[in-house]
Structure 1
Amino acid sequence: MIQLLTPQHWQDYELIDCGDFEKLERFGEITLIRPEPQAVWAKQLPPSEWQKLHDIRFKGRSATSGQWVKKNSKLPDRWHITYKNNDVAIKLRLGLTSFKHVGLFPEQAVNWDYISDSIQRFKTPKPKVLNLFAYTGGASVIAKAAGADTTHVDSIKQVVSWANENQELSQLKDIRWVVEDALKFVKREIKRGKKYNGIILDPPAYGHGPNGEKWKLEDHILEMMQDVAQLLDEEEHFLILNSYSLGFSSVIVENLLKGSLKTTENLEIGELYLQAKAGNKLPLGVFGKVRKFKTT
């Protein structure tokens, strides 16, 4: 069965409305208008309400490059929010980037809950978790807060530094930071004979490693999944594969998991979305996940 999942524990985030290729969303005390290519329907709230509610708007020639326009020049470029579920609480730093992003994908809280719940239920003491394509490290910080020995891998040094800020804000320490091409790192870990109880993948459609390595999702994801399967602890584990690529369906993710892993116990596949207060659902990627617990 294909599931539709949306976060349940956000207090510092709210999707207010979305449509006409934009979204109106609150992060803590600041409300933004940002481009959203998935929002092909009409807005539910009138333009006057959007104008009244927002603090900062992203304007640009495209959905990925432009500038932020503030209603009030005293509004910050950086601020903090918190996330708390049934197991852990973390603090995250947000910031206005030139690519419309703020350092957080709030729909990923669904996966964060799965990560912390899995770690809390594992019988393995101090389980090892690997976060690949790890961005600003929300999943890494959640895993660490839940008690895992956590390794964070991303090819961009600046976002790894940002992730370290999030670790410090959450009053945690000792996440292993790796600035490297994810596929190269995985292959080296195989040679080292390493095993992980949890592996998280949120690969981009396109990307580059620190030394110019090229990543194209449809060309490299099968190789990545076959390699990652060799790192997964056989007795107790979870694996999450998340994709925001518009061409990927949850059935593709299901086929990749079933074709790469020896066992796919507790397989779940589906789509992540954010529920707008105004009524619409905003789809934000597909996922597949499996997990296995020790029986004794």
Structure 2
Amino acid sequence: MPQFIVTCPPGFEYLLVDELNSLGEIEVREGLTQVFVDCDWQHMYRICLWSRLAHRVLYPIAEFEARDEDALYEAVYELPWELHFSEHQTFAVDFVSRRSTLKHQQYGALKIKDAIVDYFRENFGERPSVDTEMPDVRIHCRMNKNKAHLCIDLSGKSLHQRGYREKTGEAPIKENFAAAMLYRSGWASSLANKSWLYDPMCGSGTIAIEAVLMATDRAPGLGRNYWGFTQWKRFDEPLWQAEVDRAKERNESAKAAGVAPIFASDKDSEVIAIARNNAERAGVGEYISWEVGAFQRLSRPQVETAGYVVTNPPYGERLEQKKSAEIIYQEFGAWLKDQFIGDKALILSSDKHHGHALGIRAEKIYRLKNGPIDCELLKISVEESLFVAKRKEVSPDNYQEGLSESAKMLDNRIQKNLASLKSFLKQQNISCFRVYDADLPEYAAAIDVYEDCLHIQEYAPPADIDQHKALRRLRDIERVSSGALSVEADRIFVKTRTRQKGEQQYTRQDKLKHIKLVNEGAARFEVNLSDYLDTGLFLDHRKARQLLAKWSSTGDHLLNLFCYTASASVHAAMKGVSTTNVDLSNTYLDWGKRNFQLNGLDLTRHEFIRANCVEWLEQAVTEHAGSYQVIFIDPPTFSNSKKMEKHFDIQKEHVSLLNMAEKLLAPGGRILFSNNFKRFKMEYVPSENVSLREITRETTSRDFVRKPLHRSWVLQKQTLGKK
């Protein structure tokens, strides 16, 4: 009897075993993200057609040791490939490796491809072509501990691709994941009772569509137009067609017997339109009742019998999104308590705090992965006996209750830091400042005060730190800082700071648009506390901005390279200085213009230039030599933005950058050069008439003395006639 491998996502193995056992005479052995199956070809076709959970069905054709590329090539070359396809057909190769010396997936696939091509060329005089999208035959190699399992991929493409999803909403779940949710909810096993099902945050409609496929006993593979076996030489078309015909008969019979009521809603009308279109493509649109509206304003379906609510709320992948997501779960739990007593629910969550926020004790929790994200399925009976009392709101009066010893240490440190800064902040009239910066290793975050708001940047924890432990520490930071600094929870904004690459340096992190106007001396600035990793105002440059304004006089011209939101230029412009602001980002340049307008500055006296600063300098040295009395240069440490032809590295580029910039200085003019590369080494040697001095201490404010973020230097050109 043939043997097959059926792959699945992690956490699906038990469900897949049960599903395959329900399909007939099949022997099943569970593995990790795969199930080993012994069955005949009729049942193999049935698995491909009917499995709602599987990813791929693989037919092993060879097994061998392959410790290096030569061994892999030779073993593949020795196989009789003409038994599977001809030189006139197309093929593709997938390669997956675990705990083996051959690790590179693309290279492994290339060696297998080369061996197959060489086999056909040398034995038949021609070679087959490669088609990575829809090949006639797809070869799949799975390496584990240097042992290769070479298979024919009978599914062709992952079985979760049913063929009905033309578009999706934000953060969609895959079709097989939706099916797993329906199985785990218990609804699928109650189909005989025609129990209703409702997804109140349906997105692109995947859960509702999969529910109708189950309710109408429709094989999920009936909608697919491509398989990996139909062009394979061993394909048994009559056997396959018999399974297809039998599946169509079952579908028609189930529809004739009546279908359970399915309901779906979403607050976004455009998303509902996508869901409707997907349902029509799946041929099930007539069985779903759609509604547009936020769940908080909608009512339970008007059905007398008990039913099921199955949904995937927006749980947030980044830690800074989890707070707003927790509010949604809290409101969703209140909605269930109000309208769905006696019904059941299954809710997807990526954070155990979401389960707490629901306020209903789960009768079962299933752990699995949604792509790379660890998730939980919370199975709930909406019964008053399972309702959990709402947790006490945290306030400045009670936030210390129940704190762990480490959280108490955090509280003490924040209180101590705030007390030491109090007189300084009052004397300098500073309302935006840093109060804590990873002073305690277990609480690795920076806490900045923006008047009546807090901006918390968590430094991403190491990969070996337990995710739940990291989240508990972040919760401690939020709770303690809220209480110690008397800031309400809805005015606390949390982000995770990791090393940024390429376009990530400029990418929007969220879309909440929490814009706030803050004061710095006589100037006002727009800060965005929610949407970007940085707020638009670097607090550690406060003294640098003051110094630039001090150096500026009416009639001077200031050049601000890598200007960001041009906050430094604002201070100088308020002294009557004309400014030229250069940055590669239109977003930041527009932001800078708004900062100028906030302070009543005439934009016609100031330039905002979108350009690569290095390229702009190369041209400016001939066009604007000696034109600027003050130049501010605060470049990124590294950038490989797609908008740049080559990457920028401050250590490599600073010498040429400063050599060009000094040519733009007017006699007596000064350059303030700053960067935050911790291992930076100044290698620039100034010209004979230019002096160079490090002034990091002069530009480091008291709230950053504990952990200075930047180093800075002043370059000054001698006045004409002086030496």
Which TM-score bucket, shorter chain as reference? 0.7 to 0.9
Q: Residue 211 of structure 1: CA displacement? A: 4.8
The yes-or-no answer on 1:286 pairing with 2:711 is: yes
**2:261 counterpart residue number:** none
Among candidates 33, 42, 52, match of residue 456 of structure 2 = 33
* Aligned residue number for residue 71 of structure 1: none
Q: Distance in 2 between matches of 1:91 and 1:293?
A: 34
Structure 2 residue 176 is the aligned partner of structure 1 residue 176: no
Q: Unaligned stretches of 5+ in structure 1?
A: 1-5, 38-42, 69-74
Kept in 2: contact 1:78–1:96 (CA 8 A): yes
Query: Who is 1:113 aligned against?
Result: 546
State the partner residue of 1:145. 574
Q: Distance in 1 between matches of 2:618 and 2:540?
A: 30
Counterpart in the other structure of 2:71: none
The residue number in structure 2 matching 1:236 is: 668
Residues 455 and 529, structure 2, Cα contact 8 Å, conserved in 1: no
Match for 1:57 among 482, 490, 493?
493
User: What secondary structure is seen at the aligned counterpart in 1 of 2:709?
Assistant: strand
Q: Which residue of 2 is the match for residue 215 of structure 1?
A: 648
Corresponding position of 2:350: none
Task: Say if 2:595 is the partner of 1:166.
Answer: yes
Deviates more, 1:237-246 or 1:27-36: 27-36
* Corresponding residue number in structure 1 for 2:695: 269
Q: Whole-Å Cα distance in 2 between the matches of residues 266 and 215 of structure 1?
A: 23
Note the C-alpha offset of 1:262: 3.2
CA distance in 1, matches of 2:597, 2:558: 19
| Cα drift, residue 232 of structure 1 | 1.0
Partners of 1:109 and 1:232 in 2: CA distance: 23
Q: Quick one: which amino acid aligns to residue 282 of structure 1?
A: K
1:17–1:280 CA contact under 8 A, matched in 2:
no
**Structure 1 match to 2:636:** 204
Q: Which residue of 1 aligns with 2:514?
A: 77
* Number of residue equivalences: 262
CA distance in 2, matches of 1:16, 1:201: 27
The residue type paired with residue 22 of structure 1 is A
Q: 2-side partners of 1:223 and 1:167: how far apart? A: 31
Q: Distance in 2 between matches of 1:218 and 1:229?
A: 18
C-alpha contact (below 8 Å) 2:458/2:497 kept by paired residues: no
Pick the structure with more strand per residue: 1
Distance 1:291 1:210, change over 3 A: same
1:219 and 1:172 map into 2 onto residues whose CA distance is 37
Q: Give the alignment's Cα RMSD to 1 decimal.
A: 3.3
Question: Which of 221, 246, 255 pairs up with 2:678?
Answer: 246
Query: What TM-score, normalized by structure 2, do the two folds share?
Result: 0.33
2:714 match: secondary structure: strand
Distance 1:212 1:10 in 2: 44
Could you tell me which amino acid in structure 1 is paired with residue 609 of structure 2?
V
Alignment-derived partner of residue 3 in structure 1: none
Other-structure match for 2:163:
none
Work out the CA distance in 2 between the residues paired with 1:130 and 1:280.
Answer: 28
Is the 1:36–1:63 Cα contact (8 Å) retained in structure 2?
no
**Pair 1:260 & 2:689 matched:** no
Say if 2:543 and 2:701, in contact at 8 Å, map to a contact too: no
Counterpart of 2:342? none
Code of the aligned partner of 2:565: T
Distance 1:262 1:145, change over 3 A: farther
Cα deviation 1:210-231 (Å, max 9, x = unaligned): 4544211122111111111111
- Secondary structure (helix, strand or coil) at the match of 2:695 reads strand
Distance 2:642 2:552 in 1: 29
Bigger relative CO (Cα 8 Å, ≥ 6 apart): 1
The aligned residue for residue 24 of structure 1 is: 447
Q: Which runs of 5+ in 2 are unaligned?
A: 1-423, 461-472
Q: Which residue of 1 aligns with 2:584?
A: 155
User: Match of 2:657, SS?
Assistant: helix
Cα offset, 1:24, TM superposition: 1.8
Structure 1 letter corresponding to 2:587:
Q
SS in 1 for 2:689: coil
Is the contact between residue 181 and residue 209 of structure 1 (CA under 8 Å) also seen in structure 2?
no
Give a deviation string over 1:59-118, Cα, whole Å, max 9, x none.
Answer: 4484768967xxxxxx9710101111xxxx211000035442111111111111111111
Higher helix share: 2
Q: Is the 8 A contact 2:689 2:718 kept in 1?
A: no
Does structure 2 retain, via aligned residues, the 8 Å contact 1:265–1:291? yes
Conserved 8 A contact 1:179-1:210: no
Question: Which secondary structure does the structure 2 equivalent of 1:50 belong to?
Answer: helix
Q: TM-score, normalised by structure 1?
A: 0.77
Partner residue, 1:11: 430
Amino acid at match of 1:117: K
Distance 1:247 1:61 in 2: 19
SS in 2 for 1:236: strand
By how many angstroms is 1:294 displaced? 5.6
Q: CA deviation at 1:284?
A: 0.9
